[in-house]
Structure 1
Amino acid sequence: MVDFGTAEVTLEMVQASQIGMKALGAALAVGMTGIASAIAEQSIGSAAVGATAENRDVFGLALLLTVIPETIVIFGLVVALLILF
């Protein structure tokens, strides 16, 4: 059994803990989507460069396919803002 002495949990401590957990959740929402987007961007980007090197006509399509994973980060940012506010 752990003895915490005479320390009591106050309302301010609970509110501070809730704010910290909200911030942690928002950080995880943006961070995890950023990492997932970077992993997807890595393989798509290298394939896009290779396809463009062989045929310059596919540059527009390659650019479009390279941008698509970045929308995942925008969704993560929206979720983080919903958590915070």
Structure 2
Amino acid sequence: MILRILVGAVIGAVFGYIVGWIVEMFPDFNSALLSGISALTGIGGVRLPALLAAIGFILGILGGLLNGLAAHRYRRDRYRILR
């Protein structure tokens, strides 16, 4: 389960960074997105790839945790059926 969480966090951070890097290629969309995020959260003066990498990291941890719990439950139910 720890491995799922770590892999999810790394993949989420890399994916978030790549998406943020691609979004920075469109200046109007980038500034609108940063303005909206700044208005919602109060976070200002941050680059979008770093922000999306942090969001991807957190979502990757949560996704890995949910995946690990679901796999544990599935494995437990499967062994119960086989007995």
Q: Which bin holds the TM-score, normalised by the shorter protein?
A: 0.3 to 0.5
Between structure 1 and structure 2, the one with the greater Rg is 1
Ranked by relative contact order (alpha carbons within 8 Å, sequence separation 6 or more), the top structure is: 2
Q: TM-score, normalised by structure 1?
A: 0.41
